[in-house]
Amino acid sequence: MDYRTEAPDILREFLTYHETIQGHSRKTVDEYFLDLRNFFRYIKLEKGRVPRAMEFEQISIDDVDLDLARSVGLSDVYAYMSYLSRDRAKHANSPDTAYGLEPAARARKIAAIRSFYKYLTNKAKLITENPMQDLDSPRLKKTLPRYLSLDESIQLLESVDEPNGARDYCILVLFLNCGLRISELVGLNLSDVRGEQLRVLGKGNKERIIYLNDACQQAIETWLAERSHQAAADRNALFLTRRHTRMTTDAVHYMVKQRLKKAGLDASLYSSHKLRHTAATLMLQNGVDVRTLQEVLGHEHLNTTQIYTHVDNENLRSAARATPLSRVKTKKREKKQTPD
């Protein structure tokens, strides 16, 4: 799939803007394309541009232009959201799929539509008023992040053995100490290790520097000593597979699950991303302020980081103990006898 050849002009220009000017990753731009392709297939169907009996996935968007984009209003988008929540297959290619996308998936599609119309209005100046100005996103259920305790983290690290012990231990140490995203970890190159500093390329190709503690430096040093004896197909990659190619996200996901099982932890509850949550939670519990944590994790917005402040907050416990009623004991009540 390549939007540069498959997208109509009006979408291609928007996607190119995001990739070249906004600096969004290829993966993000590809997801925008898929979301907008799906949306305009629905719009064409609802506006009678294609036969009702036509297979949804077969609807072409080659003819999507400014006139069609202008014809879309808020009511069309909300009707599309209703379709997604009730009738859209969760897994389009599976015969046994369930129907109805979760709020988070619908919110991502709303974000793509909102961004597209904002571009048409503010950047391309192709429309004068943004019809999606007041577009609301689905209400998302807020859930607290799951994380390992300190003892469980130590248990995980102490259980690492051969094969690939030095590599896997180093990856787990970086996850648990630095809170890296899995995409950031697999993208690390040898040149990104600079003594006590680690250069990380985060979302939107934004660079940040993470300082490595003694445990991280020692784990990297041990792995690099072993890596130096391996023939690398990718000479730049920090972490290599057994085939000497760069570690992929799937390979890291699998490794983490296997190491969790080996440590006697429930691999169905935890993942590489949960190790990032663990790092964030442990930092906050041990005195790191939320602004600093925002920099470490590479969050663009502070409210993304603030979810961790609700995980295990001693100040909240202190507040609960501070009320004078906290010391009032419940009196035992005698049951009154009632006649039979």
Q: Catalytic: which of 80, 147, 270, 308?
A: 308
End-to-end CA distance of the chain: 80
Instruction: Give catalytic status of residue 142 as yes or no.
Output: no
Are 244 and 224 in contact, with CB atoms under 8 Å apart?
A: no
3 is an active site residue = no
Describe the strand order of the beta sheet including 197-201 as a list of residue ranges. Answer: 193-194, 197-201, 207-211
Place of tokens 């070249």: 20
Q: Which of 18, 109, 167, 181 is catalytic?
A: 181
For residue 327, indicate whether it is catalytic: no
191: Cα within 13 Å, side-chain hemisphere = 4
276 classed as catalytic: yes
Catalytic residue selected from 44, 88, 106, 276? 276
Distance CA 17, CA 24 (A): 9
* Catalytic annotation present for 181: yes
Nearest to 170 by CA among 234, 110, 99, 255: 255
Q: How far is CA 57 from CA 89, 105, 184, 217, in A?
A: 11, 18, 33, 50
Angle between helices 26-46 and 103-118 (to 10 degrees): 90
Active site residue 299: yes
Q: Which listed residue (24, 44, 167, 299) is catalytic?
A: 299
Count of residues in the chain: 340
Catalytic residue, from 12, 49, 203, 244: name it: 203
Q: Which of 244, 253, 273, 274 is catalytic?
A: 273
In degrees, rounded to 5, the angle at the alpha carbon of residue 201 between the alpha carbons of residues 199 and 204 is: 150
Give the active site residues: 181, 203, 273, 276, 299, 308
